[in-house]
Amino acid sequence: MKNGRPSKYNERTIPLTIDYIKNYEDFGDAFPSIEGLCMILGVGRSTIYDWENDPEKEEFSDTLEALRISSIRVLMNRGLKNEINPMITKLALGNYGITEKSQTDLISSDQSFIPNIIELVPAPFPENFLEDAEAK
């Protein structure tokens, strides 16, 4: 209990969460989200995160993970089908830790800094390699 108020977590919380995951569009959402779930359950995000981290509410934690996975799946699929704006898709996926990766090689303009290059060279075969293989 927070601030002496009774918790809104009850026997309907998990079924409502599952219903939201399956039917998010019926609730007016383009993809399932924690914010959408907050509206359905009538609680704030901090309450959702408190419930997620409560060892006595392990089933809710698992259900919330299912919401996240569903959200990522919907975003990726609808983004690839161009049903959701690509920039919105990219921003939303960033909330789940899925980001664009870019790599930069650093070489100074005056060539004073050039990274070391390590070249892997295969070891030479012994002269009698085939004979040894046939003997085994």
CB burial string 40-57: b at 16+ within 10 A, e below: ebebeeebbeebbeeeeb
Residue 128 has pLDDT above 80, yes or no: no
- Bridge partners of 5, per DSSP, are 2
Label residue 24 left, alpha or beta by phi (over 0 means left) and psi (-120 to 50 means alpha). alpha
Q: Cβ distance 43 to 32 under 8 Å? A: no
85 pLDDT more than 80: yes
Q: What is the dihedral of CA 80, 85, 87, 90, to 10 degrees?
A: -40
Own/partner pairs, 24-28, CB within 8 angstroms, 24+ separation:
24/74
Where are the chain's structural domains?
13-94
Which pLDDT tens digit goes with each residue over 58-73? 999 999 999 999 999 9
Q: What's the predicted TM-score (pTM) here?
A: 0.67
pLDDT digits (tens, 9 = 90+) for 10-64: 999 999 999 999 999 999 999 999 999 999 999 999 999 999 999 999 999 999 9
Assess contact for 64 and 54: CB atoms under 8 A. Answer: no
Range scoring the smallest mean pLDDT among 19-23, 92-96, 102-106: 102-106
Residues recorded for the chain: 136
Q: Distance from CA of residue 24 to its chain's centroid?
A: 19
Q: Copy the structure tokens of residue 132.
A: 């040894």
Tell me the range of 2-6, 15-19, 117-121 where mean pLDDT is highest: 15-19
